[in-house]
Amino acid sequence: MNYFFLYVVSTGEIYTTPYFGNAIEWTNIPEGCAVIGPFDSATASATVKDAYLHPNYYIVQNGVLTAKTTMADLQLADAQSSKLAQVKDLADKSLYTTVTSNGVTYNYSADSGYPAFQKLLLGVVAGIITYPYTLYDVNHVAVSFATVGALTLLFQDISVRENAVNTKINDYVTQAKACTTVDQVNAIVVSF
């Protein structure tokens, strides 16, 4: 029994399902493609056997089956993952912040504050909130808002802050994904 691999010449990508059977030659080769093989199953390398099972993990380079993923690729992916974890950690910390709006200081955390703000905003819109309104911040400190305007300004300021942080997160993700070396990833300085 023999293995054969049909591949796209321009990219080296394995084209369609590899062949395993009794054939000794592959003759119906589509335009732009080439074939490597036969590889006898009794003597085939571990690479050939794995490429047959996982053709999307391999390409053909200079007539040789080659794994797409190298140690450098894995190290790059690990560095990118670590950098994105750092971005998330710093972003989370930056959203635990003090917002001063219209003379009112409020300690805010995106994790605990935003859902509470959404419920409160529904009350404001429905007109069932009475003023002055007392809101407890993330540190359980009572903060009083004299008017709907003061409360609305706080919502707007927090929204602007969250949008700015989300924009930075997206920028850092784009930078990290564009890197082709670990050194490039490590050179990204994250700050919020």
How confident is the model over 76-99, as pLDDT tens digits?
888 998 999 999 888 888 777 777
Helix (H) or strand (E) holding 169: helix 148-178
CA distance 166 to 178: 18
Q: pLDDT higher for 114 or 182?
A: 182
Look at 6-15, 96-105, 129-138 and tell me which has the smallest mean pLDDT. 96-105
Q: What's the whole-number mean pLDDT along residues 157-183?
A: 89
132 upstream amide cis, omega within 30 of 0: yes
pLDDT band, residue 172 (cuts 50/70/90): very high
In terms of average pLDDT, the best of 51-65, 86-100, 144-158 is 51-65
Spatial contact of 138 and 98, defined as CB atoms under 8 Å apart = no
pLDDT of residue 138: 74
Percent of the chain with pLDDT over 90: 43
pLDDT digits (tens, 9 = 90+) for 101-118: 667 777 777 665 566 667
Spatial contact of 107 and 98, defined as CB atoms under 8 Å apart = yes
Alpha helices in the chain (DSSP H): 46-53, 71-94, 110-126, 148-178, 182-186
Structure tokens that stand for 145 in this block = 């808002």
pLDDT band, residue 130 (cuts 50/70/90): confident
> What are 106's strand-pairing partners?
99
pLDDT of residue 127: 79
pLDDT of residue 115: 60
pLDDT of residue 112: 58
Total-model pTM:
0.55
Q: pLDDT higher for 64 or 123?
A: 64
